[in-house]
Structure 1
Amino acid sequence: MPALADVEAAVRQVGLAVDAPELHGGLCGWLAGGGALAPAWPAQVLVDASLPAVEPDGALDRLGRASAAQFEDRDFGFELLLPGADASLVARSGALFGWCRGFLGGFGLAAGAAPPLSDEGREALSDLARLAAATPQDDGDDDDEQALAEIEEFVRVAALLIHGDCVLAPRHRQQFH
């Protein structure tokens, strides 16, 4: 996975209207909903045909390949592209909520109106929608830090669950037929 700063620089270079966490969320939603990873994935995820394809081996290409590989990792090595612990609570929570907004958009584009979600998957998607609508708070204490860490882990697991419902489960059903 490329560093957040590298992805932010690539986002600015291409002139995208989102930040790196929201773009990564959109990419992950796209992949979780069954969208294919292609060189033009930013144009697909952001619904802007004028966007160029990713540069081979550039930060956005590496982000796409790493994200797709992490979804397929049997050890659940999937990671969210978010600011590190040295960033403020407001920056980290805002990035997480932006990641969720991106995920919902990308997922909706790839999965359509009636995705094949389990009850748990539907509940996880609903929870992600609530997080996407949340507003970061300016300050916090150790309890808020702990809560944010728990929410990040929930979002990570929710994305894996939704990917499992929409991509892995249909793939396994096809193997049996």
Structure 2
Amino acid sequence: MHDDTIDDLINVQIIDMNKPIDYDDVAGCLERAGLELLPSEVHGIACGMLAGDNAADKIKWVQELVPAIEQGNVLQNDAIREMGNLFDRAQREMQDSQFRFELFLPEDDDSLATRMEALQDWCQGFILGMTMVGIKDYSALPEDSRDLLEDFVNIGTSGEFDFDDEQESEIAFTDISQYVRVGVLLINEELQPMRQSATIH
């Protein structure tokens, strides 16, 4: 597929910028297109790329996640549009001065195990997104960003969580997801001056 066609697909503007994107709808769209991607993972990758490079190329991002793009494949086209919407929303929220950024995770009425797995996938996606824009050596990063990224790696690879105590597990999930959310904003803020400095010099 020609780049212009991809551009047409992923740059369709959302009519209502404040209208929530439904997690299950996106999941179904990706599944019908035959893409082995979870919405949380897709959003995490976008956020990781944007935190590492706020001018990250959305078209190259799609080409990386959907390498076998088929012209005329309606289901795939629908999935690419949804992915483009997620990328745009991530970009807007990460630049929002009111800090309205949120992780894209299943709704609260989904099982805790499902939400925790999605959070782990989100963290793995964020690390992958950072890698995709060239951030692989954390030693050169500010200390807070370095520590946060190491924590994200640990969260993403920590295996199954113990959900024996439902109330404590819900509290733990809320604490971890909020830690990741605030951590992403801090990483994004810390890396902005580094990118500006690199541009100036």
TM-score range, shorter chain: 0.7 to 0.9
TM-score (norm 2): 0.75
The equivalent residue for 1:77 is 100
**Residues 56 and 37 of structure 1: CA distance in aligned 2, closer, same or farther (over 3 Å):** farther
The equivalent residue for 1:153 is 178
Is the 1:42–1:54 contact (alpha carbons within 8 Å) kept by the matching residues of 2? no
For residues 51-130 of structure 1, what are the structure 2 equivalents within 5 Å?
51=69, 58-114=81-137, 117-130=141-154
Is the 1:26–1:105 contact (alpha carbons within 8 Å) kept by the matching residues of 2? yes
Q: Does 1:131 align with 2:151?
A: no
Deviation at 1:161, TM superposition (A): 1.7
Question: Could you say what secondary structure the match of 1:111 adopts?
Answer: coil
Deviation at 1:112, TM superposition (A): 2.9
Is the 1:4–1:20 contact (alpha carbons within 8 Å) kept by the matching residues of 2? yes
**Residues 164 and 97 of structure 1: CA distance in aligned 2, closer, same or farther (over 3 Å):** same
Q: 1:17 aligns with which of 19, 22, 36?
A: 36
Deviation at 1:55, TM superposition (A): 5.7
For residues 158-177 of structure 1, what are the structure 2 equivalents within 5 Å?
158-166=183-191, 168-170=192-194, 172-173=196-197
User: Aligned partners of 1:14, 1:151: CA distance in 2, in Å?
Assistant: 31
Q: Deviations over 1:46-75 (max 9, x none)?
A: 3x5334696699322211111100110011
> RMSD of aligned C-alpha atoms?
2.6
**Residues 174 and 133 of structure 1: CA distance in aligned 2, closer, same or farther (over 3 Å):** closer
The equivalent residue for 1:41 is 61
TM-score (norm 1): 0.84
Is the 2:162–2:169 contact (alpha carbons within 8 Å) kept by the matching residues of 1? no
May I ask how many residue pairs the two structures share in their alignment?
A: 174
**Residues 114 and 54 of structure 1: CA distance in aligned 2, closer, same or farther (over 3 Å):** farther
Name stretches of at least 5 consecutive residues in structure 1 with no aligned partner: none
Is the 1:89–1:138 contact (alpha carbons within 8 Å) kept by the matching residues of 2? no
Percent of residue pairs bearing the same amino acid type? 29
Is the 2:29–2:78 contact (alpha carbons within 8 Å) kept by the matching residues of 1? no
Q: Which amino acid aligns with 2:106?
A: P
